[in-house]
Structure 1
Amino acid sequence: MTVGSEEELEKLRAVGRLVARTLQAMGQALEPGITTRELDDLGRRMLEDAGARSAPEMSYAFPGATCISVGPDVAHGIPGDRKVQAGDLINIDVSAELDGFFADTGASFAVPPVTPRVERLCRDGRRALWSGIRQVRSGAELGAIGKSIEAFARKNGYTLVRNLASHGVGASLHEEPTEIATWHDRSERRKIHDGLVFTIEPFLSLGADWVDEADDGWTLFPPGGEPTVQYEHTLVATPRGAVVLTLPD
């Protein structure tokens, strides 16, 4: 989507704030003993109370309002009766439609106590995301995002999952531009135009560069079980840089 008016931007801001606050509340509710279904119920209530609809549910008939993945799973995990345990690494992805507009956000949470290397992975996952966001401005190369994220990952001893990419969003959950690499893709020639709405969501890992699909047809996991985190924002490109829509305030 390309933002065409201030009214469209305000509607994107509204759905962006909603998914960000929902993600924040779900993260704060994480504790040993809570089930992923209970977490999902919390997310559903927050979305529905605001008049919004779960984007994966309405777009793809996903069996849950949100995606909750318990490590080593990294994405598209189905909420259920599994109980959160101390030491778990959990990814929560929240996307929704409100008043005809979509936003998408996600984050990984380490349930204490965890090892120092997992704490560092979470910290650096956020840093990797922002290294990509800082490359965004109207007229810039789309490939600069992945180039910056990969440089960060290599410098700090991480790998990046290369079969999960960022995407356009706004008028629908997934739209053009598709397959925005969060690694250095030398074939990328597209530019970022003014008002473009898209996500950035690197999957930073302690060794994985690929994920497979589980038998449930949804859940994605690294074959070697390597700890992997994802952090995601929806943003709008402007001449001065990125306007991040998925912040809680």
Structure 2
Amino acid sequence: MIFRDRGIEIKTREQIISMRAAGLVVGRTLELLRGEVRPGISTGELDKIAEDSIRSAGASPSFKGYHGFTGSICASVNEEIVHGIPGDRVLQEGDLISIDCGAIVDGWHGDAAITVPVGAVDPALLDLARVCEESMWRGFAAAKLGGRLTDISAAVEQHVRAQSNYGIVTDFVGHGIGSAMHQPPNVPNYGKPGRGPKLVEGLALAVEPMLTLGKQDNHTLDDDWTVVTDDGQASAHTEHTFTLTPQGPWILTALDGGEAKLAELGVSCGALTD
């Protein structure tokens, strides 16, 4: 079903189950890649591991061929915020890499991202990655049926502001997801609560804060994809796809449905059973 005034796709229970299947492929692939990140491996090698993992699960990479993108993952290192093209770049001790991954199962998409330290990393970068991930989970915890989309946005921003003076990237936001990877509505990582579309059953969203160690000002490189910070400071990016049930949020790309992280925040996981 589509909310025709906004183009927002509302999924059936069965369609959400298919999205969960895609989400599990993404979640397992990202955990595999987390274990493969090390000094000396190239982003291209990580991309091959990801594509093999996705295809061996009977899924297709969402990113490969998307508007001409050549990778199955986005691999963004240090000052690269998002959309880094995997290739010859070799990871070095002390780097911070954000890996974004998407998969399609039976026409339905899952999309998630993690930020991973390469070897021994400056504690300041570890804190950046930690706050980025925490802010995403605060967004999920703020999502309630009958609430509004920017309840998520406000919770993300409030956590970041309370923890740090990091830059919150405003040019790139989360999004609706389902039968296409990017759909309405946009999900900003900042703003006041109580605004935007109502949060209802069957709505699926990808929440993805992107934080920078310095200012959030950025530009796109000549490859027309890779977005980097203007000041050369490091960035972190975390993402999960989720939906809402009467029991609570269900994180479709988290292997446990988000149960552990949500429990830490006093929120019940809304995972459906087959």
Question: Would you say the 8 A contact 1:211–1:222 is kept in 2?
Answer: yes
Residue matched to 1:12: 19
Does residue 109 in structure 1 map to residue 111 in structure 2? Answer: no
Report SS of the residue matched to 1:82. coil
Closer/same/farther in 2, CA of residues 206 and 62 from structure 1, 3 Å limit: same
Conservation of the 8 A alpha-carbon contact between 2:139 and 2:152: yes
Match of 2:179 in 1: 171
Instruction: Provide the C-alpha distance between the structure 2 equivalents of 1:42 and 1:182, rounded to a whole number of angstroms.
Output: 30
Could you tell me which residue of structure 2 aligns to residue 217 of structure 1? 224
Percent identity, please: 33
Secondary structure of the structure 2 residue equivalent to 1:173: coil
For residues 59 and 113 of structure 1, what CA distance do their matches in structure 2 show?
34
Query: Which one of the candidate residues 18, 28, 41 is aligned to 1:34?
Result: 41
Q: Which of 144, 161, 164 in structure 1 is aligned with 2:151?
A: 144
2:167 is aligned to: 159
CA contact (8 A) 2:112 2:238 kept: yes
Kept in 2: contact 1:68–1:78 (CA 8 A): yes
Alignment length (residue pairs): 247
Whole-Å Cα distance in 2 between the matches of residues 122 and 202 of structure 1?
A: 10
1:88-132, CA deviations, whole angstroms, 9 ceiling, x for partnerless residues? 010100001111110100011111211111111122111111011
1:208 match: 215
CA RMSD of aligned residues (A): 1.5
Letter in 2 for 1:93: D
Corresponding residue SS for 2:63: helix
TM-score (norm 1): 0.94
SS at match of 1:145: helix
Aligned to 2:80: 73
**1:169, CA displacement in angstroms?**
0.4
Tell me, which stretches of 5 or more residues in structure 2 are unaligned? Answer: 1-8, 257-274
What amino acid maps onto 2:246 in structure 1? P
Cα-to-partner distance string for 1:137-175 (whole Å, 9 max, x where unaligned): 211111111111111111112221111100000111001
- Report if the CA contact (8 A) 2:243-2:251 is conserved: yes
Quote the offset at 1:60 in angstroms.
Answer: 2.2
- The question of whether the paired residues in 1 share the 8 Å contact of 2:151 and 2:194 is answered with no
Instruction: Tell me the TM-score normalised to structure 2 length.
Output: 0.86
Cα distance between partner residues in 1 of 2:15 and 2:201: 14
Please list every run of 5 or more consecutive structure 1 residues that lacks an aligned counterpart in the other structure.
none
SS at match of 1:60: helix
Q: Distance in 1 between matches of 2:67 and 2:93?
A: 32
